[in-house]
């Protein structure tokens, strides 16, 4: 869960490395460091953010046409300067940056200590570079072979890059379980490596995504790929489609705000070309190819973490409603360790923005091993989950850089809606008329999202100002809007550090109601459809205990409005699409409160965007 970046070519590496680290900072920001080859091996590293590293390197010699950089989310060892990457070998000739966890590092370290190695840091990563050096010295092999042999001894996950003082112009990268992209510059004049394509896209569109257990070796202007089993590979060169604008703030103060406002487009992109409302057909290849499987499914299991798990819960309501097929939604981290019962007639759907979340990936691998058909709903193209699934659908939301997930969630829910309808159609559980109605609403959804964004902006600012100092928040919703309440609460707590809980509205009286007093803001999703009267009663229960009601209501509904302290209106839509519209004001509320409290909304404390450790 760190960001790594590397360069070799005819230009100076430093600017690319710093800019690349800034683009990857969403992956972790406990410390940052770089190493440069310039006759010797210069390493600069610092606790804190990339900006702190920039300060550290001011006035220092940072020349060098080969180098690498790292931004860390701490796992082994506290976030300080010593534990920051790069780490160097015993004799100082080799350096490594690493994203992942070397699980057997303690055993390896013990053996190396016996052979006279001394360690500076508490990290698993330092052990790896000592091991490589040890193998090179004792086996008399070259660096590439030493790396290969060392990786055969390693248990765990890694994306690494290695530099050697005595091998100028050489980069060695390898991956297992953590992503590594290699960029190929024009005429092979320069090469890039990074955890994702964002640092690279400005320089080249030709990339290869390393597969697990592959090593990329760049030397003398040539790239070679082999496996750790020593099998040469011919890498497939992908063309990057992401644009530079998509990864820049484009005039917004924060990525999160930009991403919230991108939702009319990202939702449109997530459904574009996937259904035809005139002849009521689907153009989702992933469903069509598995038609016979879908017809015979016993059940669907959805796995995910955080926001993606919330999207899964929405999916459960939608699939059960439309396709009348049982759905279970599981935290990937729990599912993978509890020996779940899975059969060949199960479809296991993993939802993940990054496509790299370690727990989700492992849950999916387990389901595959047990014979289930596995399906991925991911945003990052070429990431690990889409590469191991039998089928899947990208959400096409575009790069999401703010750590708090926003447009990825609404795109996931959109795709899940299409999947629910598609499965329903394949299994003959939905009428043409009903399909027509939902398609018609889906088609105008981006406009309605646009409308919500415009209409609620001032009201949300006013509410944020009023409640920015609250210590607790409750979020309530019923049915398909219960996960929306969970998502609203997660969004607020992760970026503003206000304690917030989401509950099914009717569950409130079984405990949380004890928390309600005149200081408790309660956000209630109360659309005119669904369980309207029931939610109205729940609101009354809060009011009776002097709680403050912030309701999300259907335009024109004066009943809930009249008993709310604040009401935010959203346009009427199909029940199944309310979660998308209702989420938007909640995202804005979290955003504004966090900004008013002086929090770093794009990089909230202790979090990282892509959680590649369990
Ligand atoms: O990349 P993924 O969707 O698999 O990530 C899952 C969670 O880590 C993620 O949704 C997290 O909860 C976000 N911080 C939510 O805003």
Of 224, 246, 268, which residue sits at a domain end? Answer: 246
Nearest alpha carbon to residue 149 among 230, 217, 226: 230
307 lines ligand 1 (CB under 6 A): yes
For residue 412, the CA-to-ligand 1 centroid distance in Å is 12
Mean pLDDT, range 594-598, rounded to an integer: 98
| pLDDT computed for residue 248 by the predictor | 86
Question: What are the backbone angles phi and psi of residue 547, rounded to the nearest 5°?
Answer: -65, 155
Residue 501 above 90 pLDDT?
yes
- pLDDT > 70 fraction of the chain, expressed in percent and rounded: 100
Asked if the model's pLDDT at residue 74 lies above 90, the reply is no
Overall number of domains in the chain = 3
Same structural domain, 388 and 496:
no
Question: Among 34-48, 111-125, 403-417, 504-518, where is mean pLDDT lowest?
Answer: 504-518
Residue ranges making up the domain that contains 481:
456-599
Please indicate, yes or no, whether residues 382 and 525 belong to a single structural domain of this protein.
no
Q: Which of 27, 255, 306 is the pocket-test mutation for ligand 1 (most atoms within 8 Å of CB)?
A: 306
- Given a cut of 90, whether residue 529 has pLDDT beyond it is no
399 and 478 co-located in one domain: no
* Pair 331, 473 in one domain: no
User: What confidence tier does 149 reach under pLDDT thresholds 50, 70, 90?
Assistant: very high
Closest CA to 159 of 394, 358, 368, 396: 358
Q: Are residues 310 and 360 in the same domain?
A: yes
| Rounded CA separation 22/122 (Å) | 25
Cβ of 306 below 6 Å from ligand 1: yes
449 CB near ligand 1 (under 6 Å):
no
| Residue 387: closest CA among 349, 345, 413, 356 | 356
Asked if 568 and 552 count as a contact pair (C-beta separation under 8 A), the reply is yes
Instruction: Tell me: pLDDT of 572 over 80.
Output: yes
- 440 found inside a domain: no
CA 423, 353, 309: angle at the middle one, nearest 5?
65
Residue 217's nearest CA partner among 198, 200, 193, 241 is: 193
Q: Which of 259, 307, 411 should be mutated for ligand 1, with most atoms under 8 A from CB? A: 307
Q: Is the pLDDT of residue 600 over 80?
A: yes
Confidence at residue 82, expressed as pLDDT on a 0 to 100 scale = 92
- 173 and 283 belong to one structural domain: no
User: Measured between alpha carbons, how far is 135 from 129 in angstroms, rounded to an integer?
Assistant: 10
The pLDDT-based confidence of 187 (bands split at 50, 70, 90) is: confident
pLDDT exceeds 80 at position 1: no
Q: What is the pLDDT of residue 76?
A: 76
385 lines ligand 1 (CB under 6 A): no
Clarify whether residues 362 and 412 are in a common domain. yes
Q: Are residues 395 and 471 in the same domain?
A: no
Nearest CA to ligand 1 atom 12: 306
Ligand 1 centroid–CA 611 distance in Å is 8
| Backbone dihedral angles phi then psi of residue 598, each to the nearest 5 degrees | 75, 25
pLDDT score for 29: 86
Q: Which atom of ligand 1 is nearest to the CA of 609?
A: 14
- Whole-model pTM: value is 0.85
Q: Is the pLDDT of residue 126 over 90?
A: yes
pLDDT, mean of residues 530-536: 88
Q: What is the mean pLDDT of the chain?
A: 94
Burial 367-406 (b: 16+ CB within 10 A, else e): bbebebbbbbbbbbbbbbbbbbbbbbbbbbbbbbbbbbbb
Which pLDDT band, with edges at 50, 70 and 90, does 557 fall under?
Answer: very high
pLDDT at residue 541, as a whole number: 92
The residue whose CA is least distant from atom 9 of ligand 1 is 306
590 touches ligand 1 (CB under 6 Å):
no
In a domain, 181, yes or no: yes
- At 392-432, the pLDDT tens digits run 999 999 999 999 999 999 999 999 999 999 999 999 999 99
Give me the CATH number covering residue 381.
Answer: 3.40.50.10490
**552 — pLDDT class (breaks 50, 70, 90):** very high
Q: Is residue 195 part of a domain?
A: yes
Contact 404 CB / ligand 1 (< 6 Å): yes
CA of 418 to the centre of ligand 1 (A): 22
Nearest-CA residue for ligand 1 atom 14 is 404
Would you say residue 467 lies in a domain? yes
Band (pLDDT 50/70/90 cuts) for residue 530 is confident
Query: Would you say residue 444 lies in a domain?
Result: no
Q: What is the pLDDT of residues 220-262, one digit of tens each?
A: 899 999 999 999 999 999 999 888 888 888 889 999 999 999 9
Q: What confidence score (pLDDT) does residue 282 get?
A: 86
User: Taking residues 431-435, what's their average pLDDT?
Assistant: 95
Sheet with strand 87-88: strands edge to edge: 87-88, 94-102, 156-164, 171-176, 214-219, 222-227, 232-233
pLDDT of 451 higher than 80: yes
- The predicted pLDDT at position 468 comes to 97
Q: How far is the CA of 65 from the centre of ligand 1 (A)?
A: 36
Together in a domain, 293 and 384: yes
**Atom 4 of ligand 1, nearest CA residue:** 352
Q: Report how far ligand 1's centroid is from the alpha carbon of 410 (Å).
A: 13
Tell me the mean pLDDT in the region 599-612: 86
Of 207, 230, 246, which one is at a domain's C-terminal end?
246
Residue 610 clears pLDDT 80, i.e. is over it:
no
Residues 463 and 417 occupy one common structural domain: no
Tell me if 360 CB under 6 Å of ligand 1. Answer: yes
More confident residue, 608 or 86: 86
Does 384 sit in the ligand 1 pocket, CB within 6 Å? no
Mutate to test the pocket of ligand 1, among 305, 349, 600, 602 (most ligand atoms within 8 A of CB): 305
Q: What is the pLDDT, as a whole number, of residue 589?
A: 98
The answer to whether residues 68 and 210 belong to one domain is yes
Complete DSSP assignment for 201-269: TTT-SEEEEPPTTEEEEEETTEEEEEETT--EE-PPPEEP---TGGGS-TT-SSHHHHHHHTHHHHHHH
Closest atom of ligand 1 to CA, residue 310: 10
Point out the ligand 1 atom lying closest to the alpha carbon of residue 404: 16
The residues that are catalytic are: 2, 609
Does residue 403 line the site of ligand 1, with CB under 6 A? yes
* Co-location of 388 and 332 in the same domain: yes
Residue 234 domain-assigned (yes or no): yes
Q: Is the CB of 611 under 6 A from ligand 1?
A: yes
Question: Domain for residue 104, yes or no?
Answer: yes
User: 575 falls in which pLDDT band (50, 70, 90)?
Assistant: very high
Asked if residue 193 is part of any domain, the answer here is yes
- What are the pLDDT digits (tens) for 330-386? 999 999 998 899 999 999 999 999 999 999 999 999 999 999 999 999 999 888 999
What pLDDT was estimated at residue 526?
A: 96
CATH number at residue 93: 3.60.20.10
Mean pLDDT of 483-503: 97
Considering 183, 218, 246, which residue would you say is the last residue of a domain?
246
Q: Is 406 in the pocket of ligand 1 (CB under 6 A)?
A: no
CA of 353 to the centre of ligand 1 (A): 7
Q: Which residues of 342-364 are buried (b: 16+ CB within 10 A; e: fewer)?
A: beeebbbbbbbbbbbbbbbbbbb
The per-residue pLDDT for 188 is 85
């Amino acid at each position: 869960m760190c960001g790594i970046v590397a360069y070799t070519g005819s230009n100076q590496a430093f600017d690319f490395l710093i800019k690349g680290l800034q683009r990857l900072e969403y992956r972790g920001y406990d410390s940052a460091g770089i190493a440069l080859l310039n006759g010797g091996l210069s390493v600069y590293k610092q606790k804190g953010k990339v900006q702190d590293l920039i300060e550290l390197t001011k006035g220092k010699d940072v020349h060098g046409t080969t180098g690498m950089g790292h931004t860390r989310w701490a796992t082994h060892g506290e976030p300080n300067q010593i534990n920051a990457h790069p780490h160097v070998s015993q004799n100082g000739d080799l350096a490594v940056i690493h994203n992942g966890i070397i699980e057997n590092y303690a055993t390896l370290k013990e053996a190396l200590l016996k052979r006279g190695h001394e360690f500076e840091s508490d990290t698993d990563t330092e052990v790896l570079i000592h091991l490589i050096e040890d193998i090179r010295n004792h086996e008399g092999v070259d660096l590439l072979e030493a790396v290969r042999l060392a990786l055969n001894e390693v248990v765990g996950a890694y994306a690494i890059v290695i530099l050697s003082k005595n091998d100028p112009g050489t980069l060695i990268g390898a991956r297992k379980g953590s992503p590594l992209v290699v960029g190929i510059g024009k005429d092979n004049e320069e090469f890039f490596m990074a955890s994702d394509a964002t640092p690279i896209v400005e320089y080249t569109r030709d990339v290869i995504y390393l597969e697990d257990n592959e090593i990329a070796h760049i030397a003398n202007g040539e790239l070679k790929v082999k496996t750790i089993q020593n099998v040469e590979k011919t890498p497939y060169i992908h063309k990057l489609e992401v644009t530079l604008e998509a990864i820049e703030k484009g005039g917004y103060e924060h990525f999160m705000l930009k991403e919230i406002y991108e939702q009319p487009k990202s939702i449109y992109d997530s459904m574009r070309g996937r259904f035809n409302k005139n002849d009521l057909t689907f153009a989702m290849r992933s469903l069509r190819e598995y038609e016979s499987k879908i017809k015979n499914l016993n059940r669907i299991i959805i796995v995910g973490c955080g926001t993606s798990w919330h999207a899964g819960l929405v999916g459960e309501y939608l699939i059960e409603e439309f396709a009348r097929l049982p759905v279970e939604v599981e935290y990937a981290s729990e599912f993978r360790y509890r020996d779940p019962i899975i059969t060949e007639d199960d479809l296991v759907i993993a939802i993940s923005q990054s496509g790299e979340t370690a727990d989700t990936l492992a849950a999916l691998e387990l389901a595959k091993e047990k014979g289930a058909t596995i399906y991925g709903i991911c945003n990052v193209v070429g990431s690990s989950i889409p590469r191991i699934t039998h089928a899947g659908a990208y959400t096409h939301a575009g790069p999401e850089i703010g750590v708090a997930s926003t447009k990825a969630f609404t795109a996931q829910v959109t795709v899940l809606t299409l999947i629910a309808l598609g499965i329903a159609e394949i299994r003959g559980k939905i009428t043409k008329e009903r399909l027509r109605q939902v398609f018609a609403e889906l088609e105008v959804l981006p406009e309605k999202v646009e409308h919500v964004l415009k209409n609620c902006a001032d009201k949300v600012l006013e509410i944020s100002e009023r409640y920015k100092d609250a210590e607790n928040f409750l979020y309530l919703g019923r049915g398909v809007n219960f996960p929306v309440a969970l998502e609203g609460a997660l969004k607020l707590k992760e970026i503003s550090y206000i304690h917030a809980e989401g509950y099914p509205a009717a569950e409130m009286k079984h405990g949380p109601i004890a928390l309600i007093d005149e200081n408790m803001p309660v956000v209630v999703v109360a659309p005119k459809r669904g369980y309207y009267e029931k939610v109205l009663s729940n609101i009354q229960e809060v009011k009776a205990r002097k709680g403050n009601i912030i309701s999300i209501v259907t335009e024109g509904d004066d009943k809930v409005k009249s008993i709310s302290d604040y009401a935010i209106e959203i346009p009427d839509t199909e029940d199944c699409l309310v979660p998308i519209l209702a989420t938007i004001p909640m995202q804005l509320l979290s955003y504004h409160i966090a900004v008013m409290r002086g929090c770093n909304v794009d990089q909230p404390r202790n979090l990282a965007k892509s959680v590649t450790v369990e």
